[in-house]
């Protein structure tokens, strides 16, 4: 009787072959056979079918012995689980040592040698028949072997892959997810190794892994083999590409973040792999170029579109890539449906906020948006896991799949290493617990037994606070949110919160504060970058040199960072309008930026001094304003985010407004060109009094209730002693609001409000809605309540 064929080449495998070759191999076959003609490069290889596993165990009479071991196993008994798993693996390992299987593997390997050269190195990966499903990833449950050469080494690696179906973690995972041990089989994939050990590799997702925002490709990369990203042993470079504008031909990286990339995984002499340190020079560089990031994004979009078309609905993807040092090409080495974020598309929103504050002990990358408190448990290695108790905060250098039983009972996770696609981050998302990864020094800063609060609700930066702080949770069902006729928009400054905030019901961004991006992400006074020779402080000079070290010029640093910050907000809400306010620091605030003290005058009352529009065409700041305009041009023209509008703050007089518009036009931001709309803040009484004249120069108005109240009532809003007189509900203020809205309407101009008065006082929101204001813009935490108030007011009209 002829021996059954256990080898299938990638060219003969399709996505529907999961029962024959498992999820990983079915996906590789689909990629290789259907997307290669679209320019998606996939190394060739073959799969050993699940029948090879089943037939080997049947021939060896192994099933009964495996049932005896597993049917009565208490998986919560860690010692018993380890013993049973080891015995089960040995049974499979011995059962797969068959002559026919060896012969078929040898013949297939010889064909790979004919294509790629003698003794070609291959990657050997497990592929379970229940793997990479939309509801269960099986990530990291089974073994993989890299840099395997020669027929003997390949046969050994294949047997060990088959045996890894009974790792401790795989047994536990199947039980937890309702899979029958004996209905899941294992296939083995053998693929030509990409020489990324001397280049770079990584993981990319066709969504944002934190918020679930679908309009970006999120690319991560490190030097060497990509296992370090998955294991979380290094902090990767990170990039975002905006899919909608990419598809219209705007091929630009939306934002980039330089990772520490501490280690490089390379081939070891004599086979296998090892880690070596990365030089300081290499760590200072991105591991791939912008052009390569865009090539990867292009392939990711093609893969997502292909899988989505086959599925009949959007199918976000989790994709592994590698760059070959020999030919310089980028290869896709795995693609699977994303199985965590895409499964929790919300029907409602839970928001978490801290009820108090305390000392920040350590910071890193935030994973998720939750907050949790508990006692610290510092775990130096796997041998310390036994002492871990439910509700503790796990603190470690990094985590591996073997740690998952403990991670399931942790209140939160803090790791010293890893990026947002490392093992700790992936598991934390799947479990729905907050994690702070890449928190350098955490194992020294956090002490076992000490109470801490792990906060991931404050943007991209995750913080670990001293003590157990009060946590406020609010839940709102989307179905309960009434959308009013009045546009309800958001006030935002922090780009790190943009994707999450965009998933709230909204009509765009009524106020994007440029100064937050400058103070938090750039940190340097613009003029200090234009005229570094005028920097007064030697300490500031050194700090600035450090920040701009990887840029062609200091000015390039400012333009790129500002464009990235504005671009993240613009992309998050695209194609809805995003109104970006030009910088509106006061002189004392500008002076606090790095290098700022040498460029700012000392003023008795900065609130009424050299601020807003007065600065933009003034010789003391004109060169800094040119950088702001260059960044906005990059956002609109290079990235293609033409939904970004510009708003001029604190514009005292009509003549001043014309000077600013002329300066903007001189820097390539001419009102009307490429659909550019320019708004003005209505926050000075003269803006209201002369609204007809201002309306001839601008496309719309945004009432700044804070400054308008201050200047109408003559109350310094920063002075505690007269704070009781600062009240937007004063009859005089209500009349100011009315005059502004009626005046804008009279001139056919958009009018909104971006102060917090409507959020603080529902009666003001109601009043503005009755006046017919076009938009009300509030902070994300207030948007749902404001929608309700405005809907109620409209229903009474």
Residues recognised as catalytic: 423, 754
CA 649 to chain centre: 31
Determine the Cα–Cα distance for residues 330 and 709; give it in Å rounded to an integer: 58
Starting at the earlier edge strand, list the strands of the sheet with 45-48. 7-9, 45-48, 186-192, 122-128, 144-148
| Closest alpha carbon to 191 in 41, 86, 415 | 41
**CA 792 to mean position of chain CA atoms:** 36
CA distance 287 to 280: 13
Residue 473 neighbours by CB distance under 10 Å:
10
- Please give the Cα distance from 492 to 514 (Å, whole number): 9
Query: b or e along 731-755 (b: 16 or more beta carbons within 10 Å of the residue's beta carbon)?
Result: eebbebbeebbebbeebebbbbbbb
Residues 6+ apart with CB under 8 A from 259: 220, 222, 234, 235, 236, 237, 238, 419
Report the chain's C-alpha Rg in angstroms.
30
Q: What residues pair up with 273 in beta bridges, in sequence order?
A: 267
* Residue-level length of the chain: 797
3-state secondary structure of 707: helix
How far is Cα 485 from Cα 790, in angstroms, rounded to an integer? 9
User: Cis before residue 276, ω within 30 degrees of 0?
Assistant: no
CB neighbour class for 514 (10 Å; exposed up to 12, middle 13-18, buried from 19): buried
The Cα angle at residue 94 between residues 90 and 98, in degrees rounded to 5: 155
Nearest residue to 418 via CA among 203, 230, 199: 230
Q: Tell me the CB-side half-sphere exposure of residue 780, using CA atoms within 13 A.
A: 22
Compute CA distances 214 → 94, 499, 796, whole Å: 46, 9, 37
In sequence order, the 6+-apart residues with CB closer than 8 A to the CB of 132 are: 22, 23, 24, 26, 27, 138, 336, 337, 339
């Amino acid at each position: 009787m002829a021996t059954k064929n256990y080898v299938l080449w990638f060219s003969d495998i399709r996505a529907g072959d999961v029962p024959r070759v498992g999820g990983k191999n079915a996906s590789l076959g689909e990629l290789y056979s259907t997307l290669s003609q679209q320019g998606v490069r996939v190394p060739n290889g073959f799969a050993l079918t699940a029948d090879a596993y089943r037939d080997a165990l049947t021939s060896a009479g192994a099933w009964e012995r495996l049932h005896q071991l597993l049917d009565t196993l208490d998986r919560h008994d860690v010692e018993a689980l380890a013993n049973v798993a080891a015995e089960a693996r040995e049974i499979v390992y011995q059962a797969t040592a068959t002559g026919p299987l060896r012969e078929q593997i040898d013949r297939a390997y010889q064909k790979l040698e004919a294509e790629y050269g003698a003794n070609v190195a291959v990657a050997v990966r497990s592929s379970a028949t229940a793997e990479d499903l939309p509801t269960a990833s099986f990530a990291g449950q089974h073994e993989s072997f890299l840099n395997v050469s020669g027929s003997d080494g390949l046969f050994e690696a294949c047997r060990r892959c088959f045996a890894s179906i009974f790792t401790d973690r795989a047994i536990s995972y199947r039980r937890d997810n309702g899979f029958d041990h004996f209905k899941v089989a294992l296939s083995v994939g053998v693929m030509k190794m990409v020489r990324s050990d001397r280049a770079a590799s990584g993981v990319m997702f066709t969504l944002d892994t934190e918020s679930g925002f679908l309009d970006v490709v999120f690319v991560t990369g490190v030097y060497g083999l990509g296992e370090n990203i998955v294991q979380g042993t290094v902090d990767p470079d990170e990039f975002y590409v905006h899919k909608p504008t990419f598809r219209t031909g705007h091929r630009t990286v939306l934002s980039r973040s330089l990772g520490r990339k501490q280690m490089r995984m390379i081939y070891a002499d004599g086979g296998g792999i090892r880690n070596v340190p990365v030089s300081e020079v290499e760590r200072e560089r991105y591991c791939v170029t912008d052009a390569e990031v865009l090539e990867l994004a292009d392939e990711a979009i093609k893969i997502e579109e292909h899988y989505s078309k086959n599925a009949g609905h959007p199918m976000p993807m989790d994709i592994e890539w590698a760059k070959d040092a020999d030919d310089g090409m980028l290869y896709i080495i795995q693609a699977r449906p994303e199985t965590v974020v895409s499964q929790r598309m919300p029907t409602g929103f839970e928001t978490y906020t801290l009820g108090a504050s305390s000392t920040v002990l350590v910071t890193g990358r935030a994973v998720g948006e939750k907050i949790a408190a508990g006692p610290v448990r510092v775990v130096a290695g796997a041998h310390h896991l036994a002492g871990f108790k439910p509700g503790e905060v796990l603190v470690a250098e990094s985590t591996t799949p073997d740690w998952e039983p403990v991670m399931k009972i942790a209140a939160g996770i803090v790791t010293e290493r890893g990026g947002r696609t490392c093992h700790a981050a992936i598991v934390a998302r799947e479990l729905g617990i907050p994690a702070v990864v890449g928190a350098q020094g955490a194992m020294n800063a956090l002490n076992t037994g000490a109470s801490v609060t792990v906060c991931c609700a404050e943007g991209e930066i995750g913080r670990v606070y001293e003590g157990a702080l009060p946590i406020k949770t609010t839940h709102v069902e989307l179905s309960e949110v009434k959308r009013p006729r009045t546009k309800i928009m958001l006030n935002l400054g922090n780009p790190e919160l943009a994707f999450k905030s965009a998933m709230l019901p909204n009509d765009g961004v009524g106020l994007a504060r440029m100064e937050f991006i400058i103070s938090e992400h750039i940190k340097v006074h613009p003029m200090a970058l234009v005229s570094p020779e005028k920097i007064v402080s030697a300490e500031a000079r050194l700090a600035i040199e450090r920040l701009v070290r990887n840029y062609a010029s200091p000015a390039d640093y400012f333009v790129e960072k500002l464009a990235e910050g504005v671009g993240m907000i613009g992309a998050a809400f695209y194609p809805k309008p995003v109104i970006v306010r030009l910088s509106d620091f006061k002189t004392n605030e500008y002076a606090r930026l790095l290098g700022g003290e040498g460029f700012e005058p000392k003023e008795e009352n900065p609130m009424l001094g050299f601020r807003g529009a007065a600065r933009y065409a003034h010789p003391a700041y004109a060169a800094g304003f040119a950088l702001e305009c260059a960044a906005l041009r990059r956002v609109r023209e290079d990235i293609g985010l033409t939904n970004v509008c510009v708003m001029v703050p604190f514009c005292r007089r009509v003549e001043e407004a014309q000077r600013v518009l002329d300066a903007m036009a001189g820097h390539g931001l001419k009102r009307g060109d490429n659909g550019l709309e320019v708004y003005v803040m209505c926050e000075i009484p003269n803006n209201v009094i002369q609204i007809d004249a201002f309306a001839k120069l601008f496309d719309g108005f945004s009432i700044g209730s804070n400054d308008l109240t201050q200047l109408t009532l003559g109350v310094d809003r920063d002075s505690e002693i007269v704070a009781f007189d600062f009240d937007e509900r004063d009859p005089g203020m209500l009349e100011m609001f009315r005059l502004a809205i009626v005046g804008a309407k009279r001139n056919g101009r958009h009018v909104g409000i971006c102060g917090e008065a409507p959020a603080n006082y529902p009666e003001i929101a109601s009043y503005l809605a009755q006046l017919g204001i076009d938009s009300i813009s509030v902070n994300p935490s207030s948007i749902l309540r404001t929608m309700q108030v405005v809907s109620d007011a409209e229903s009474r009209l």
